[in-house]
Amino acid sequence: MKLFSSFMALLLFLLQAVPGKGLPKDTLRCLGYHGFCFHSKSCPEPFAAFGTCSRRQKTCCIDTTSNFHTCQDEGGHCVPPEIECLQEQVGLCPHSEWKCCTEV
């Protein structure tokens, strides 16, 4: 019995050490875009809202002064991967698999 409880304690310790384990998908996506999760529905300056965190309970805010700009800030439109872009550009889209296009 002592061996079993020691094994379970070790297993729980190792699971806590895995980065990102147990975080909601929207929170992981926000952190992947170097965003921050705020309790309020609006983001303070110089941040811009970029989705949700904590299972839609918080707002994901990204820094507008960094190199990570949203697609709309750059004058583009976010489109799903099955749509072909005539001209693609750099910019963040709310869905990670979508592309930022200036012309479709």
Domain that holds residue 29: 23-66
Say how far residue 28 (Cα) sits from the centre of its chain.
5
Map tokens 């918080």 to a residue: 58
Number of domains in the chain: 2
Q: For residue 85, give the CATH number of its domain.
A: 2.20.20
Nearest to 68 by CA among 45, 48, 43, 40: 48
Banded pLDDT at 12 (limits 50, 70, 90) = very low
The per-type count for the chain, helices as H runs and strands as E runs, is 2, 6
Residue 29 shares a structural domain with residue 44: yes
List the CATH number of the domain containing 50. Answer: 3.10.360
* E strand intervals along the chain: 36-38, 47-53, 58-63, 77-79, 87-88, 99-103
Residue-wise pLDDT tens digits, 27-80: 888 887 778 898 888 888 888 888 899 888 999 988 777 666 678 777 888 888
* Residues 59 and 72 grouped into a single domain: no
Residues 75 and 98 in one domain: yes
